Structure 1
Amino acid sequence: MSSAGCGVHSAFIVDRDGAVVSNADVLISVEWNRVLDDVSTAHVIINPDGDCCAQLGRVRTWRHKLVVARDGVVVWEGPIIQAEWSYGKVELWASDILVWLDRRVPHSNATFTGADLTDIGAWLIEDGFAPDDPGHTVEILGPANVEGGREYTVDDGQTGDHLRDLADTGLDYTAIGSTIVLMPETWSASVGLLTDVDLPEGLIVAEDGSQLATRFVVHGDQNSGVQGVSGGTDAYYGLLERSVDESSVKTDASARAAARSRRAANYPVPVFLASDEVTLSPEAAVDVAKLVPGWCVDVASQATCRPLTQRLKIAGVKVEEDGDGESVQVTLAPLSSELED
């Protein structure tokens, strides 16, 4: 396992039928990321070497996918969305497998009453890929324990947007290569420990009370008057209320579950590292391949007046390598609590 600043990348382009179209020789720079509940991207700049130029000239968007490896381990892959050829340089931009769902719509009608959000998410993915599968698998790490009442109609809305709606009410998902992983928002498996030695100078520990809610109200489908409530007056914080509309929620039970999930994400007041992207020390002994959104890292910091010893969720990862070396940035977010109404 190399440290966070010593990885060496390679890349290659693969056809829909699985054949390798070209290696990325010579790779000038590479950037790839992983994100929670959305589509991740990658970007490479290649200096074509010999026969590689003619091979790269055959690259076509959506037909071919970019595969990125770090120290020989594949860490990212997805269809090429944009390509540019210039003198002595080829640039490729790609998105992960989830981008296909932004170009798919429901292919059958479905009504869910009392189903777990992970089961609904799995149905959306399978239905989205049913007519034309670029090659995918779905892995469910555990039930969301959030009841979902949802209805989907043929050709109505993009499948990717329907999946994001589920993520607003208790489901997390991410892409690892061609696998789409579904998990509860409360998933708390840790992949490592970060201490002050691994974190940058100028680290800021922050408490953000702007989203705190002790009582959450979710209004579902307006035509049916669906509503769900979670929480009330808190003995410590008092009463702080929020109300949101979730038109995709069709039953009172699923509205209550959505309200509980929303409150769990913002109660108690989250304490976190105040940086959208925490750059790890180049010597940080972490397995970059295992930094997957939805999993957690344990953080132990004594560098400020507010010591922090907490398990934080990985919300995003961005890795860059160019002539100046490698940089690994991690976005960390508070872990949702498990709350009762």
Structure 2
Amino acid sequence: MAGVVGGAFLSSVILVIREKVNSKNFRNYFHKRLGRKLEITLNSINEVLDDAETKQYQNLDVKNWLDGLKHELAEVDQLLDVIAIDAQQKGKIERFISGYINRFESRIKVLLKRLNVLAEQKNRLGLQDTTRAAGNDGVVSSSFFYESVMYGRELENQEIIDCLLSDSGSDNQVPIISIVGPIGMGKTTLAQVVYNNHLVMEVFELKAWVHVSESFDLVSLTQSILRSIHSSAADSEDLEILQHQLQQRLTGKRYLLVLDDVWNKNGNMWEHLLLLFSRQSSGSRIIVTTRDKEVASIIGSTQLLDLKQLEKSDCWNLFVKHAFGGRDVFEYPCLESIGKKIVE
């Protein structure tokens, strides 16, 4: 398995393996302690995959570690498929009487031992858990867009851009466009694409992007907006001073504000904040991304985009881009079959 395969793909493979380990087929063959040991080892490895993916380009030992991990995960996944097929062909009593239980158990223990060796090597390689310092889902978003291609959201992208570039709207109320959908639907990615569109960049004099944490207050949110507009601002802890500074920055400007990953349902707080954006706001826009339609309603959205599941072909193309890093998927027939299971 030469070449580089993304850590996101290996994390997905681990997720599939964990689901199989928790299936009835696995529980019928093995004691639950064996399954628990396998899960603990997989979790330990999964924690450092992002760091390993970054470091493999500078450290050959890390790349070799990832190559070895790819091989062992493929072996585990294949064995679990064999067990599932055997379970379908035999009844519980037949499985117990036959020698298949011991054969499968010895093979799974060998693979667990190899995975444990890999897990023990992560400290020697300097691999760290990069997920703990982040926000709600281990990710804090930014306005910077890393993708060169967006899959399956072309219509929504154009709809938002049309709204941003239109002259419709009130001088007393800035239009709010809410992008709503469950985790993983591409809300933030869509907002990033729009935010960095060349036409949008030409039209708006001021742009600000703020990732809204699950727990925040008016002071911290106002500070974040000010910092996004002007990095040297927002030193004060006084809300009145911060609001005055923000109002000064916005007056007479056509601005675009993105509030990403909003959870808070405090209507009074949102009303108090949005008052700042209701004066002389001609041509300005606010984009909100949230998982909850109730949040979109409380904020007073003037337009709501409810993102649906991508088409299967778009899901596969997106998966291939992240998992295989631009390499030919046909070079990895075993991993390709696992990937298709994940997408389905």
TM-score range, shorter chain: under 0.3
Q: More strand per residue: 1 or 2?
A: 1
TM-score normalised by structure 2 residue count: 0.19
| Structure with greater Cα Rg | 2
Answer 1 or 2: which has greater helix percent. 2
Q: Which is bigger in relative contact order (C-alpha 8 A, separation at least 6)?
A: 2
